[in-house]
Structure 1
Amino acid sequence: MTRTLPAPPAAPAGPETSTRPRTLAVLAVVLLGQFMAVLDASIVNVAIPSIRISLGATGSALQLIVSGYVIAYAVLLVTGARLGDRFGQRTMFLAGLAWFTIASLACGLAWNGLALIVFRFLQGIGAAAMVPQVMTMIQRTFTGPARARALSAYAAVISGGVVAGQIVGGLIVTGDIAGTGWRGVFLVNVPIGLALLATAPAVLPAGLRAHRRLDLTGLAVLTAAVLLLVLPLVLGHEQHWPLWTRLALGGSVVAFAAFVLVERRVHRRGGEPLFADAVLRAPGLVPTAANLLVVMCTFGGWMFVISLYLQEALRYSALHAGLVGAPMGTVFAIASMTWSRVPARLHPAMIVSGLLLGGATMVVLGRRLGDGHGMGVPELLVYAAMGLGFAVSFSPLTTRALSKVPPVLASDASGILVTCVQLGIVIGVASFGSLFLSLTGTAAHAVGVTAIAIGLTVLAAVALAVRAVR
């Protein structure tokens, strides 16, 4: 059997337990760290045209600059969760935060595209050590209704950070603070990281410790499978899909199948697989994870594509391109924080309806852009409706799954769900980014076809959502 942590001591009953200044300070610190990590998965999108000019990066290099961070983040998340259980959540949060801050400084000082790709991978390692501790500390700090509210805020930060990154990135690049240009999107993490490093030791609880075994074989196979899938998708369109890309894609299928077999073998031998059997049996967790992967695949792909299109085809400034996302981001944020007011019996229908709305609006927007329209008022209204659809599906779906996970399984559940979110972004940038970059004809035609393909993929995710909300 998979080993789990011993149950944490029960918190005193009553909402006042979770509203004391100290517990609110814990929430503020961990969510700010979470926000930094999620923000960095998207903030670079709006800077990629400037990076292309400054460093002479190719389209494939730009995709790796975006996805390199997320690859390391995704494949190491569960291992980061295990290390948190082994050495303490506070210790790993601080270690990951320090690594992330140093890597952010290195990204801001990168001298060419290859250096930036490497530093982005290193930045993702820091995020993987820090992020899994967040949900675990929330689960163990809050109880009852306060825990549900904290988890809702957690889900909103995960999803909202992707949208906020576009706007914040646009402000930083266009503002060109102290002549840093695109480098500022990385350097902004340094003062925030230092402030958190100074504050967190006095605020965060030490947490429980348990001897957790690491699944290094599973980690190696999963990493190989992801790279075999992503690298040919990213590099293939510029190299005209040589034989190695097709072999690698076929090899990724074999590698993912091998990963399943390795995990089963680890479980049978009494070890601790990356995807623990006890966690996978939690109600609705597997279909929720699959749904989040598909949804974030479309969302991550769209954020990469629209940034390139707005700045390189429509000649928008970085700030203008970032502000285009403001209506969607505003609606998304408001809906993410207020959806819980909808009666619980309506939540399953709300989740499914939200995905239908998100997919439909993406198709409509694709048709508009493909016909040569810019991002005018009609398009921005459609964009805002898209934000509403994603918000009323993503946040409640995540909260619904996490609220059913016992605290003793919190770290593994956090790792699995966020791994799927980040793998979705990686696959989306690689697949839909390559589709956009490889289409011939006008940029309007390319973005239109890509948007329609993304929208249809969102609609396909509805079937997974129906299973997840049963």
Structure 2
Amino acid sequence: MLAVVLAAQFMAPLDVFIVNVAAPTIRTELHASGAGLQLVIAGYTITYAVLLITGARLGERVGHRRVYLGGLAVFTAASLACGLAQSTGELIAFRLLQGAGSAILIPQVLSLIQRNFTGEARVKALGAYSAVLATGAAAGQVLGGILVSADLFGTGWRPVFLVNVPVGLVLLVAAVRVLPRDEVGRRAERAAGRARGLDLPGLVLLGAAVSLFTVPLVLGQEADWPLWSWLSMAAAVVLFALFRAYESRLARRGGAPLIAPRVLRTPGIGLAVFRIVAVMAVNAGFLFALTLHVQSGLGYSPLRAGLTFAPTAAAFGLVGLVWRRWPQALQRTLIPGGFALTAVSTAAVGLLLRDGGDGGPWLYVAFVGVGGGLSLGFGPTLTRALAGVRAEDAADASGLLSTVTQLGQLTGVAAFGAFFLNRLESQGAPGAYSSGNALLVCFYALASVAALGAVSGLVRMRR
């Protein structure tokens, strides 16, 4: 069961990043405009982020197994449609649908883990979940490079979408066989979930707030941050405040808010949210800026650019699987130590690439440090945050943390991508040296965020 749900989890972040490497080929073959290409890349992310909370609540109402199967079917069908698209407009529409399928599917993964694993088994399952989550991002870059370079049967960019189809079909068959059916004892929980309702006003407020926040983040850089992008993000802040006020008032009246207040009051959940945002922002910003540097600055092929990220992905996955086996004396230092390792390693990557060279063998050591450090920052944080969440609140916690994870990735790409590109533009003459200098400054900024994560870990240790 764990293998099946984590395979689906792996596909979601992979599909965010796999398109990056294929973007130049898509633009050429479909004659896409800059804005059209940006929507092809970002459309998936927008609907994915906006609908995650809705997907979590649907799982509570209808049953996690049913919603998992439904989301996987939508995702697989949309992937086939993307691979067969004949125009930019078609591809954008199917990418939006693909993101909606992921939003329905992914919250069920954490909920199924929370409900079907306990004790040490849950810790191991969450360790595997952590390993899969960010590994999928780096693996998307690698797989995208391999598929685009292979140009299978002259299909160009299409295999980056079509590869999901056989995997999705296999997972559908396996999920029907291995996912636990809704138990009789949980019918009362589902009935309570239906009685709670979907909190439609809360969904509308939250969906609008996330939309107003994510759309300018993913499209603002391409348009050189026009006035509408800043107004949109300001409106998002207002709507988030209105959402919080409405949910608090609904809870006081005895209603059923979108996220149970006791989930937000779980000890350490606020600190966990900050750390997850920091890890995902650093991870996404690192991958995005480095992709731009090696492909545009150093002129790497899609395959070589993709393989550049293999050490980071491998380190993240391996550490995510083994950290819980380390001595108990080390467990309290894992989170601050992981963030500190990330800060040092990220700065080291920038220094090694600052002169436009390939960095030499020490670069791969630094890549391993980045992956391992991010894994230590994320895995123990997620495990400890969910340890205090009740099983009946699994859907709320899953939706909250999945949304936070996605918003962290979006913020990392938008903020640090813009930082890198603006620094590169200020350099004047393009080239490997200018790109390397811009990367160094950007990675110093990423290292600063990681250092804040280390400080947050030390604060928690003192408490």
What is the 5 A alignment of 1:103-142?
Answer: 103-142=78-117
Residue pair 2:275, 2:377 contacting (<8 A) in 1 also: no
C-alpha displacement of 1:216:
2.4
8 Å Cα contact 1:355/1:462 also seen in 2? yes
Alignment of 1:235-250 (within 5 A): 235-250=219-234
Which of 47, 61, 65 matches 1:90?
65
Q: Label 1:107 to 1:242 Cα distance change in 2 as closer, same or farther (>3 A).
A: same
Q: Contact 1:47–1:169 at 8 Å: present in 2 too?
A: yes
- Verify the 8 A CA contact 2:298 2:356 in the aligned structure 1: no
Moved over 6 A (4+): none
Which residue of the partner structure matches residue 189 of structure 1? 164
**1:423: Cα distance to partner?**
1.0
| SS across alignment from 2:337 | helix
Distance 1:395 1:314, change over 3 A: same
C-alpha distance in structure 2 between counterparts of 1:261 and 1:218, whole Å:
10
Identify if the C-alpha distance between structure 1 residues 174 and 206 changes in structure 2 by more than 3 Å, giving closer, same or farther. same
Q: What SS does the corresponding residue of 2:258 show, helix, strand or coil?
A: coil
Q: Percent identity?
A: 47
* Alignment map for 1:414-453 (pairs within 5 Å): 414-439=398-423, 440=425, 441=427, 442-453=434-445
Are the structure 2 counterparts of residues 422 and 130 from structure 1 closer, same or farther at C-alpha, using a change threshold of 3 Å?
same
Pairing partner for 1:387 from 371, 393, 397: 371
Superposition map of 1:200-211 within 5 A: 200-207=175-182, 208=186, 209-210=190-191, 211=194
What is the RMSD of the two structures over their aligned residues, measured on CA atoms? Answer: 2.2
Question: Retained in 1: the 8 A contact 2:18–2:140?
Answer: yes
Among candidates 264, 279, 290, match of residue 306 of structure 1: 290
C-alpha displacement of 1:112: 4.1
Q: Could you tell me whether the CA contact under 8 Å between 1:52 and 1:62 is conserved in 2? A: yes
Larger mean Cα displacement after TM superposition, 206-215 or 166-175: 206-215
What is the CA distance between 1:83 and its match in structure 2?
0.9
How far off is 1:225 after superposition?
2.3
Q: Which residue of 1 aligns with 2:2?
A: 27
Deviation at 1:408, TM superposition (A): 1.6
Task: For residue 331 of structure 1, report the CA deviation from its aligned partner.
Answer: 1.9
Which moves more between the two structures, 130-139 or 420-429?
130-139
Q: 1:116 to 1:434 in 2, by over 3 A?
A: farther
Query: 2:147 aligned with 1:172, yes or no?
Result: yes
**What SS does structure 2 have at the residue aligned with 1:453?**
helix
**Given that residues 312 and 367 in structure 2 are in contact (C-alpha distance below 8 angstroms), is that contact kept between their aligned partners in structure 1?**
yes
- Give the Å deviation of 1:56: 4.5
Alignment equivalent of 2:270, drawn from 280, 286, 299 = 286
Query: 1:59: how far off?
Result: 5.6
Residues 405 and 240 of structure 1: CA distance in aligned 2, closer, same or farther (over 3 Å):
closer
Q: Pairwise mapping of residues 6-405 of structure 1 onto structure 2 (< 5 A)?
A: 26-57=1-32, 61-207=36-182, 208=186, 209-210=190-191, 211=194, 212-405=196-389
Structure 1 residue 359, shift from structure 2 partner:
1.7
Partner residue of 2:454? 462
Name the counterpart of 2:430. none
Summarize deviations over 1:185-217 as a string: whole Å, max 9, x none: 111111111112222222211223232411222
Task: Measure the CA separation in 1 of the matches of 2:221 and 2:408.
Answer: 20
2:440 maps to amino acid: G
| Residue deviations 1:248-302 (CA, integer Å, cap 9, x gap) | 2322322222222222223223333233211112222221122101220121122
Matched residue type, 1:456: S
Q: List runs of 5+ in structure 2 lacking aligned partners.
A: 428-433
Distance across 2 between alignment mates of 1:134 and 1:241: 36
Deviation at 1:240, TM superposition (A): 4.0
Stretch of structure 1 that moved more, 460-469 or 153-162: 460-469
Q: Which amino acid aligns with 2:254?
A: G
Secondary structure in structure 1 of the residue aligned to 2:180: coil
Work out the number of aligned pairs and report it.
Answer: 445
Q: For structure 1, which segment, 52-61 or 264-273, has the greater mean C-alpha deviation from structure 2 after superposition?
A: 52-61
Q: CA deviation at 1:183?
A: 1.8
Pairwise CA distance, 1:41: 2.4
Instruction: Name the CA distance, whole Å, in 2 between partners of 1:298 and 1:417.
Output: 17
Deviations 1:20-57 (A, max 9, x none): xxxxxx11211112112232122223323333443445
Please give the per-residue CA displacement for 1:352-397, whole angstroms capped at 9, x wherever unaligned: 1110111222122223323322243222221111111111221121
2:117 maps to amino acid: F
- CA deviations on 1:74-94 (whole Å, 9 max, x unpaired) are 232222121111111111011
Greater Cα offset, 45-54 or 310-319: 45-54
| Structure 1 unmatched ranges of 5 or more | 1-25
DSSP-derived class of the 1:79 partner: helix
C-alpha change, 1:67 and 1:293, in structure 2 (3 Å) is: farther
Q: Distance in 2 between matches of 1:306 and 1:225?
A: 30
